Amino acid sequence: MASFGVGAEQEPLLGDHTPGSRGDIIETEEHYKSRWRSIRILYFTMFLSSVGFSIVIMSIWPYLQKIDQTADASFLGWVIATFSLGQMAASPLFGLWSNYRPRKEPLIVSIFISVAANCLYAYVHLPPSHNKYYMLVARGLVGFGAGNVAVIRSYIAGATSLQERTSAMANTSACQALGFILGPVFQTCFALIGEKGVTWDTIKLQINMYTAPVLLSVFLGILNIILILTILREHRVDDSGRQCKNINFEEVSTDEVQVPQGNIDQVAVVATNVLFFVVLFIFALFETIVTPLTMDMYAWTREQAVLYDGIILAALGVEAVIIFMGIKLVSKKIGERAILLGGLIVVWVGFFILLPWGNQFPKIQWEGIAMYNSIMLTPATYLKLISNSLY
């Protein structure tokens, strides 16, 4: 059995792939091309999932304040949390579904749910009351649709050989990070429309800096469904790259072999999932507080917060993509365990830097104090207070 060369398949995101000499032994060239076309479709699906999340994350708080004056910062936490709760509930369901049925089914259903939820988000201004609860439901359904991330990762892991897997998973994470980059970039561009925007009276749709991003997500979601229906095929290979029979494999051939897999290290799986939870918990913390925090710390308006926070998050996304692509090279030299430990140390240093250093108060507090003092020192206001106290 011929083995893979060192450079046989360290997959670049958009690079060319040549089966080389392995094609006539492990898999045919047609199967190889079909397998990687399907993987790239899921790269795109992962990208759209991230875009759907990050494209509105900077504008949720000002949009919530606009549509419902009763909403406070505590409710903002619930609105953002429902995305994660929906994703947490959907991930095992879609994962179980994909174990027994073709993965197209949970992928298409999940994307359709996200499209419908984004349409609801664009119309949360319309009800006469309880608008904040409609936004809560919309974000929860978007999160439920994002549960397809588990299906995407499991498919890519099962459709790649051991040598291909680290590179393919890094590409998946890079697409996820790229979605986090372009989402805020799109939001920043749509901020130029302004809060008022334009209204499509026929369908009572307001197109402004809050709704335009989700309408773009709707369009991309429909495009994604079309690509999955027309291009995606089910493939599975073992650690050596040989085709394996799969219960949801659509084109089972008689020359495929079923190779028994080794035992799974349960402790390593649990530890990895716990660390993944910690990393996402940290990200969720900042996504929740960054907009109200910057509005309070720097006295930014709603439009300024959407614009500036979008730029900041986009810059962080660029950094993330560079890191993900660098991991593909560094992991070959120092190992994945050392990379994981180094990343967690960097996170700890970041928290240390973010501690409130110095003795200065936020700018908005000083503005409030100055305004209060100016009012109190106005002679007319002073006389009015005296008059009110007498009568």
Asked if the model's pLDDT at residue 9 lies above 70, the reply is no
Residue 224: alpha-carbon gap to chain centroid = 16
| φ, ψ for residue 198, nearest 5 deg | -130, 160
Q: What is the pTM of this model?
A: 0.69
CB atoms within 10 A of CB 20: 15
Domain ranges of the chain: 20-357, 362-391
Helix (H) or strand (E) holding 205: strand 205-207
pLDDT in tens, 304-318: 887 888 788 778 777
**Is the pLDDT at 3 greater than 80, yes or no?**
no
Q: Which residue has the higher pLDDT, 372 or 180?
A: 180
Q: Convert the pLDDT of each residue in 155-206 to its tens digit.
A: 888 888 777 787 888 888 878 877 877 787 888 888 888 888 888 888 888 8
Q: How many Å is the maximal CA-CA distance in the chain?
A: 101
In angstroms, the Cα distances linking 199 to 202, 206, 257 are 9, 4, 59
| DSSP codes of every residue in 25-90 | TT--HHHHHHHHHHHHHHHHHHHHHHHHHHTTTTTHHHHHHHH-TT--HHHHHHHHHHHHHHHHHH
Q: How far apart are the first and last CA of the chain?
A: 100
Q: What CATH architecture is 20-357?
A: Up-down Bundle (1.20)
